[in-house]
Structure 1
Amino acid sequence: MNFDAFITCAVTGSGDTAGRSEHVPVTPAEIANAAIEAARAGAAIAHIHVRDPETGRGSRDVALYREVVDRIRSSDTDVIINLTAGMGGDIVFGPGESPLPPDPAGTDMAGPLARLAHVEELLPEICTLDCGTMNFAEADYVMTNTPGTLRTMARRVQELGVRPELEVFDTGHLVFVNEMVREGLIDDPVMIQLCMGIPYGAPDDPQTLMAMVNRLPAGAVFSAFSLGRMQLPFVAMAALAGGNVRVGLEDNLWLEKGVKATNRSLTERAAEILGAMNVRLLGPAEVREKLKLTKRG
């Protein structure tokens, strides 16, 4: 059990959700405001993707990240910025007997350093590394993260002095995480996000969660979350397992049956659940100390 936990709010993601809820932030101003509102509701960390303001689709545009980060840093609200580095590893194969060339409509493949261009310029306190390749139950789409790509990204993030949040979607990803730790590519404290319930990844039952927890590197600081209706139950599950919490519209659009969520309302509900469990929320300053982060901006 973790009696001193922090909340991460993943405010928008890159999935096809903007058309399903008017509360999903799309523009840089909306994304920054969502992060600030979540922080005021109790989130110590804001996990940030950006979207093309015209189409609502996920983007790697450094200028969009710059605007979001500048808006957050110039606000009067303290929150730890966690930028995704997961974009640029998307491949959609052609249909049937013609897998190549890939479908250009959904494919976005970039080199490991290109995937870090926004991190290198903006130097957030945290950025994510998705620690493996996996299917996401979407026809011929594959999230692609090869060992070579990840080692190159981890080495560069280490050089930049940014803390990597290692996103783990299945047990095999933890095997690779432990390899990178042994190779000296990940500095202490190791920060891990257990991503549960994603189709064809680790299911979100308690037994699988604890199997993942039991394979973590020694001394790792971890969070755990699940998707949709299981997001809020996982607030309690994560704390009971000894971890921290992630909520937000990246992973779940509903506060309860028939009630669409906002990032603020999901963060408030998570804080209520943790408070009822006698868990003390850690603020940004305490999380920086715990994770040995360097405040930027």
Structure 2
Amino acid sequence: MAAKPSSKVIITCAVTGAVHTPSMSEYLPLTPDQIVQNAVDAANAGAAIVHLHARDPNDGRPTADPAVFDMIVPRIREQTDAVLNITSGGSTRMTLEERLAYPLKLRPEMCSLNMGSMNFSIHPAAQKIKEWKYAWEKPYIEGMEDLIFRNTFKDIKHILKVLGEEAGTRFEFECYDLGHLYNLAHFVDAGLIKGPLFIQMIFGILGGMGADPENLTLMRTTADRLFGRENYQFSVLGAGRHQMPLVTMGAIMGGHVRVGLEDSLYLESGKLAASCADQVQKIRRILDELSLTTATPDEARALLDLKGSAHITL
């Protein structure tokens, strides 16, 4: 199925993630209540998709526990019609079985899917923090230097089968490097992925592509060659201080945008974002100034050929 031409920009909000830790920002959502409130407020501010991880309510460490997700996801669905995009990546410390436990239970409209194994680290950030709120944080951040995020071809094939083929879930294909586009093309050519594709191009993570505008152009033109421009939608994620400039560039190039405290803790230079909604509101103002219209959740569903919220198992 070809991608539908889009005159509307989908805003995805990644609420909390599994990279940042409580000591990095007092505003990072940690408890179920905080994650729910941030997600709902982001949706009310204009996010058509909310991308969700879970945190241990006691100390904020990343968790894949379905019981914790159950304290978050149903409450968001009760309060908003935003597309619920559940992580299949979790964190570098989780097994594939742990990462898939809740997605297989929920059978969501959308999941993230990292398109390769990679070094993925923010360990230099540990040097900037003088006081840690929880004992787990410092070894967690420093330990990233000697860890990889694993998603082998076999892992990806398994996820495509049990979530895609069997559960009707579609994917935000996370591409942190040029080679990830070729990995995606491999699965498309093998008939294991059907369009329309939703490619999340990610820049600025240590271990992946640098946040250079030229790299965004390279990813866009490479995706055109591999898939044909009419066969995919793309979105841009800029990590940290690169968030707003790169996602704005992506929107100008015809793409969609992703913001949220998972990707950047800041609203502007030197100023922490007090909520995910702050970032959504900022990018929406920028899009408005560029005469670009944001997509509603149902418009996002139509563009990405999602199965609809009525077909998830809550």
Instruction: Select which of 261, 268, 271 maps to 1:256.
Output: 268
1:81-104: CA deviations, max 9, x gaps? 00000026x2xxxxxxxxxxxxxx
Whole-angstrom CA distance in 2 between matches of 1:57 and 1:131: 24
CA RMSD of aligned residues (A): 1.6
**Aligned match of 2:197:** 190
Find the counterpart in structure 2 of residue 222 from structure 1.
Answer: 234
1:149 — aligned with what? 155
Alignment of 1:120-269 (within 5 A): 120-137=104-121, 138-158=144-164, 159-216=166-223, 217-218=227-228, 219-261=231-273, 262-269=275-282
Give the TM-score normalised by structure 1: 0.89
Please identify which structure carries the higher helix content. 2
Q: Please say if residues 32 and 71 of structure 2, whose CA atoms lie closer than 8 Å, have aligned partners that are also in contact.
A: yes
- What is the DSSP-based 3-state SS (H/G/I as helix, E as strand, rest coil) of the residue aligned with 2:156? helix
Q: Deviations over 1:256-281 (max 9, x none)?
A: 23321020100000000111111011
Counterparts in 2 of 1:172 and 1:64: CA distance versus 1, 3 Å: same
Once structures 1 and 2 are overlaid, which stretch shifts more, 285-294 or 134-143?
134-143
5+ unaligned residues in a row in structure 1: which ranges? Answer: 91-106
1:114-133 deviations in Å (ceiling 9; x for gaps): 53221121122100111111
Judged with a 3 Å threshold, the aligned counterparts in structure 2 of structure 1 residues 168 and 286 are, in CA distance, closer, same or farther, namely: same
For residue 26 of structure 1, the aligned residue among 30, 35, 50 is 30
Does the 8 Å contact 1:2/1:240 carry over to 2?
no
Distance 1:296 1:3 in 2: 23
Q: TM-score, normalised by structure 2?
A: 0.84
Structure ranking higher on relative contact order (CA contacts 8 Å, 6+ apart): 2
Contact 1:157 1:164 in 2 (8 A): no
Q: Which runs of 4+ in 1 moved over 3 A?
A: none
> How far has the Cα of 1:3 moved from its partner?
4.4
Task: Please give the alpha-carbon distance, in whole angstroms, between the structure 2 residues aligned to 1:18 and 1:40.
Answer: 25
Q: Does 1:10 align with 2:14?
A: yes
User: Does structure 2 conserve the Cα–Cα contact (< 8 Å) formed by 1:66 and 1:122?
Assistant: no
Contact map agreement 2:109 2:308 (CA 8 A) in 1? yes
Q: Deviations over 1:54-86 (max 9, x none)?
A: 1211111011112211101112x2211000000
> Aligned residue for 1:117?
101
Tell me how far apart the structure 2 counterparts of residues 274 and 22 of structure 1 sit (CA, whole Å). 28
User: For residue 61 of structure 1, what is the aligned residue in structure 2?
Assistant: 65
Distance 1:110 1:235 in 2: 30
Distance 1:46 1:235 in 2: 16
1:108 aligns with 2:94: yes
- Write the distance in 2 (CA, Å) between the matches of 1:201 and 1:17: 21
> Which residue identity lines up with residue 212 of structure 2 in the other structure?
D
Instruction: Quote the Cα distance in structure 2 between the aligned partners of 1:278 and 1:32.
Output: 31
Contact 1:47 1:83 in 2 (8 A): yes
Report if the CA contact (8 A) 1:49-1:83 is conserved.
Answer: yes
> How many residue pairs are counted as aligned between the two chains?
277
SS at match of 1:250: coil
Match of 2:90 in 1: 87
- Distance, in Å, in 2 between the alignment partners of 1:131 and 1:280 is 29
One-letter amino acid of the structure 1 residue matched with residue 300 of structure 2: V
Cα distance between partner residues in 2 of 1:46 and 1:258 = 26
Helix, strand or coil for the counterpart of 1:255? Answer: strand
Which moves more between the two structures, 45-54 or 208-217? 208-217
Cα distance in 2 for partners of 1:67, 1:184 equals 37
